[in-house]
Amino acid sequence: MKKMLSMTVNGAPLEVAVHTHATLAEVLRGELGLTGTKVGCGEGDCGACTVLLDGEPVNSCLVLALQAAGRTVTTIEGLSAEGAAAGESLHPVQAAFVEAGAIQCGFCSPGMILSAAALLRRCPDPTEADVRVALSGNLCRCTGYQKIIEATLAAAESLATSHAGDNSDREGGRP
């Protein structure tokens, strides 16, 4: 059985007919073509499918699409579109991941980057331990995490610099 679902995805309100049992990950990837959200397990274990739901990271493979009704979803595609500074194509967290070599196979990267972005919004000046905790739900088999952690800390610094004298919340995702 299908039902109409209204939600805001990457800043744009939309309506889509979804199966009642469809997960948010399925709808984002299948119906909306937002394949930047990856599915590594479909069981809530790997974090590859992380998206921001009202700004909070969730495993979209565990969330029913209908649970997103009336809420705001930010996927990796939206992070770059909404979050980048003028003239840049990448959000500071994305830029830091690219620069630090935190991306190898890249399958964990969209989820990892969103978790990192959510952390930095909540906690703009995290310690290394804060970063490790915040990213502990996102598995990465390639990197051993070190460059991911370095990238997140570097992003915190670059956000702090760019936010000095500019209080607007650029990361997007919040209503």
Partner 1 sequence: MSNHRILGTRAVRLDAAAKATGRALYTDDITLPGMLHGAILHSPVAHATIKSIDTSKAVALPGVKAVLTAADVPEIPFGVSPARYDERVLARDKVLYVGDEVAAVAAVDLETAREALELIEVEYEPLDIILDARQALAEGAPQIHPMYEGNLSARVEQEFGDVDSARAKATVICSGRLESEMQDGAFLEPQAAIAELDDQGNLTLTTSTQSVHYIQRTVAMVLSMPVGKVRVVKPAVGGGFGPKAACSTMELLTCLLARATHRPVKIAFTREEVFLHSRARHKFIHHMTLGASADGKLLFLDHEALLDGGAYASFGIATVYYAGSLLGGPYKLPSMRYKGTRSVTNKPTCGAQRGHGGVIARALFERLLDEVAEKLGADPVDLRLQNMMEAGDVTCNDLNMSSLGMRECIEAVRDGSGWQEKRGRLPRGRGIGVACGFFVSGAGYPIYRSDTFHSTAEVKLQEDGGTVLVRSAAADIGQGTDTALAMIAAETIGVDLDQVRVISGDTDLSVDLGAYSSRQTLMTGHAVREAAQKVRDQVLEVLAERLGVSMSDLRVEAGLVLPAEGVDLDFATLRTQYTKEHRGWTDNPTDGPLTFREASRLAFLERGTMVATGGYKPPILGGKFKGAAVGTSPAYGCSAQVVELSVDLETGQISVDSVTDAHDCGQAINLTSVEGQMQGSVSMGLCEALFEQVRFDAKGRCLNANLADYKIPTAMDMPKVDCIVVETDEPNGPYGAKEVGEGAIMPTIPAVLNALHDALGARFERLPLTAQQVATALRTGRPVAAESPQPDTKGYCKIDD
Q: Which residues bind partner 1 (CB under 8 A)?
A: 29, 34-46, 48, 75-77, 80, 89-90, 94-95, 97-101, 103-110, 113, 131-133, 135-149
127 binds, among partner 1, ligand FES, none (CB under 5 to 8 A by kind): none
Considering only residues 110-169, where is the footprint of ligand FES by CB under 6 A? 140-143
What's the N-to-C CA distance of the chain in angstroms?
30
Between the alpha carbon of residue 82 and those of residues 2, 53, 96, 142, 143, the distances in Å are: 31, 15, 16, 28, 27
* Residue 58 touches which of partner 1, ligand FES, none (Cβ within 5-8 Å per kind): none
Residue 63 or 112: the one with the smaller Cβ distance to partner 1 is 112
Q: State how far the Cα of 98 lies from the Cα of 31, in Å rounded to an integer.
A: 29
Choose between 49 and 156: whose C-beta lies nearer to ligand FES: 49
Q: Which residue has the tokens 């196979």?
A: 105
Place of tokens 């069981």: 43
Q: Which among 17, 117, 101 has a CA at the least distance from the CA of 66?
A: 17
Binding to ligand FES in span 13-52, by CB under 6 A? 39-42, 44-49
What does the binding site for ligand FES look like in residue numbers (CB under 6 A)?
39-42, 44-49, 59, 61, 103-108, 140-143
